[in-house]
Amino acid sequence: GAVVSQHPSRVICKSGTSVKIECRSLDFQATTMFWYRQFPKQSLMLMATSNEGSKATYEQGVEKDKFLINHASLTLSTLTVTSAHPEDSSFYICSAFRPDQPQHFGDGTRLSIL
Amino acid sequence: AQRVTQPEKLLSVFKGAPVELKCNYSYSGSPELFWYVQYSRQRLQLLLRHISRESIKGFTADLNKGETSFHLKKPFAQEEDSAMYYCALGSNAGNMLTFGGGTRLMVKP
């Protein structure tokens, strides 16, 4: 099946640091990539939808200046959490999509802000 | 607005017992429903989708538009079925997914 690689898998950093998370679709070209956030024992919440070469579409309540998304190619999207604070600590998951295929998910990135 | 509801956070059964994980949805358009599974320390994986009408690992799910349900069933649970199961509703040609809260299935020996 399709493989989506997410890096890093775990990040621990100090408050105020900016953190970049990469999402790569390794064996197919994804027209769209999605970024989700998952709190402990809760479901996935869609943060934003990213199409290659265009601006990301953010869900209501998600700060676009806090969570910067860049989708430079059909195989790579990045999420940068800017000036992270403890409340940004969470599990971030990306997925890659192309028409007529279901979404394929990455392993997720656990972000811990001290 | 679209919504997916999984009423049970935890479902515990013995090995060999039948399993039904409930999922109800609300959506004004033509729905596309999925079940995703997440085994311990692994990524989210697609288990099945309603348009395929297939059985994966012994699991089946039928879309009931009258009851707006897409319950996941398996006649005989196995210990390796223990995992988190998420029901998801696809919109915009299946592009956008709305997830239910998830149900943790525990199959006891």
Residue with tokens 């099946």: A1
> What confidence tier does B93 reach under pLDDT thresholds 50, 70, 90?
low
- How far A44 CA lies from chain B's nearest CA (Å)? 6
* C-alpha to C-alpha distance for A109 and A41, rounded to whole angstroms: 16
Taking alpha carbons only, the member of B37, B46, B6, B38 closest to residue B23 is: B6
Tokens of A43: 């479901």
pLDDT tens column, B36-74: 999 987 889 999 988 887 788 999 998 999 999 999 999
Please tell me the predicted confidence (pLDDT) of residue B52: 80
β-strand partners of B24: B5, B69
β-strand partners of B69: B24, B64
Testing the interface with A: which of B42, B56, B97 to mutate, by most A Cβ within 10 A? B97
Residue with tokens 């430079």: A72
Who contacts A55 (Cβ-Cβ below 8 Å, separation ≥6)? none
Chain A / chain B CB contacts < 8 angstroms:
39
Contacts of B45 in chain A (CB under 8 A): 105
Residue A87: strand, helix, or coil: helix
